Amino acid sequence: MKSVKALACAAGLAASACADNAGPTTVDLAQRKARDLAAWVSRTNIYAATGTNAFAPAAARAQHLVYVPNSLDGTVSVIDPSTYEVVRTFRTGALPQHVVPAHDLDTLWVANNDGNTLTAIDPYTGREGGTIPADDPYNLYFTPDGRWAIVVAEKRQRLDFRDPHTMKLVESVPTTCEGIDHLEFSPDGSYLIATCEFNGQLVKLDLATRRVVGYLTLDPQKLRDRAMPQDIRSSADGRVFYVADMMADGVWLVDPDAFQRTGFIHTGRGAHGIMPSRDGTRMYVTNRGWHTIIGGRRGPGSVSVVDPATGRVVGSWPIPGGGSPDMGSVSPDGRELWVSGRYDDEVYVFDTQAGRLTHRIQVGWQPHGLCFWPQPGRYSLGHTGNMR
């Protein structure tokens, strides 16, 4: 009886695989080296492909625009980043929370939380398209392999796994995570960790089985006020996850593999959003200025610049006269940080080199998950442009 290899060779398998010499060929070694190098780069810097203006082909064709969901208006404001002016505003479903790039970079989705819908935006025209049903879409993410879209159903305390193109529901994963909000993925895509805003925990989920594997209470000794975790982002090497805590006024450091707290960095009042710089050597932390989800005007908001290598705050950018910086994006060239001003109905633009506020742009009522599009990177993990 012929061997499996002999049958494969008879069927026309590549000659390199059918050579008498059982050892690897030069081509095999080159391919293996390329795979090993790609794996090493990914582990060393998961943001390696998100450098200055490093657009994937699909993103390179998109119009450069900034999309701002105005939650309490039920609208999205569209800003031209070259003029810093609102060029149009369009209606969406009720309570739009985030504008989210799809994994394949071909669509932007508006997550309409109370509207129970997702509104599509064509990034090549900047125009809104159709709306499809989705239960309780506070946020939207995509697994690194592109297999799943994950709707974060905050009020339902669950993660809804959907087809990433049709958004058809495949499976709902229940949790005990109160106020499940933001997600981050391991470098190898084997698990995710989500923040639980209202019970001070993180939840870890195995992506192969789509099952919860554990919970982590961030401040069990109550060293500070009750934990209120918000955004979560990985360090460039994937070994530390940073968790912004709006009550603790800083970011927790978490070992994602061991699922343990390893430290804390104080940033500013109401730490909320986390955005890595273009090279991943800095983390921009927005401090919303309030400890509650209902803030006021002109609070003591700021942006802190964290150096992951030292675990220190190396810069602090105030907002003259006060403000409430929330979520946003780094510009494709890395020179600007664009964030929404949640309780002041405006958008802030910071010069990342000078470390100062340069523009305030009036938008709608309670702007939230701002997205500057296009963004550099091979694919999107969702949120406001978490790229890899």
The pLDDT tens digits for 100-152 are 999 999 999 999 999 999 999 999 999 999 999 999 999 999 999 999 999 99
Residue 184 in 3-state DSSP?
A: strand
pLDDT confidence band for 293 (50 / 70 / 90): confident
Average per-residue pLDDT for the chain: 90
CB-based burial label for 210 (10 Å; 0-12, 13-18, 19+) = middle
Check if the beta carbon of residue 261 is closer than 8 Å to that of residue 318: no
pLDDT confidence band for 274 (50 / 70 / 90): very high
> How high is the pLDDT of residue 224?
56
Residue 232: name the closest of 253, 205, 208 by CA.
Answer: 253
> How high is the pLDDT of residue 44?
76
Give the pLDDT confidence of 47-97 residue by residue, as tens digits. 999 999 999 999 999 999 999 999 999 999 999 999 999 999 999 999 999
Is residue 6 over pLDDT 80? no
Check if the beta carbon of residue 99 is closer than 8 Å to that of residue 384: yes
| In the chain, % of residues over pLDDT 70 | 88
pLDDT confidence band for 225 (50 / 70 / 90): low
Place of tokens 């923040």: 195
